[in-house]
């Protein structure tokens, strides 16, 4: 069997994040190290024990971001 690798996931707002979570859990269980990055203003990406979530600052608040989408 192959060893797990590293995976960087950058979901976008209004993306298919919900459909990505299930494969990420499966990859994590097979030994992959997963880091997900998302803006602080993002409301769709949530922390999990299966991956590390890193948030980065953006110059917009959630309301401003939603108004632009």
* Chain segment 18-46, per-residue pLDDT in tens: 788 889 899 999 999 999 888 877 767 78
- pTM beyond cutoff 0.85: no
Contact assessment for residue 34 and residue 51, using Cβ atoms and an 8 Å cutoff: yes
Local structure of 60: helix, strand or coil: coil
- Beta carbons of 24 and 17 less than 8 angstroms apart: no
Please count the CA atoms within 13 angstroms of the CA of 58 that sit on its side-chain side: 13
The pLDDT of residue 21 = 84
């Amino acid at each position: 069997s192959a060893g797990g690798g590293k995976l960087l996931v950058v979901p976008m707002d209004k993306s298919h994040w919900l459909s990505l979570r299930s494969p990420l859990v499966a990859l994590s269980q097979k030994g992959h190290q997963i880091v997900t990055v998302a803006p602080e203003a993002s409301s769709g990406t949530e922390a999990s024990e299966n991956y590390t979530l890193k948030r980065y600052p953006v110059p917009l608040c959630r309301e401003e971001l939603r108004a632009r989408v």
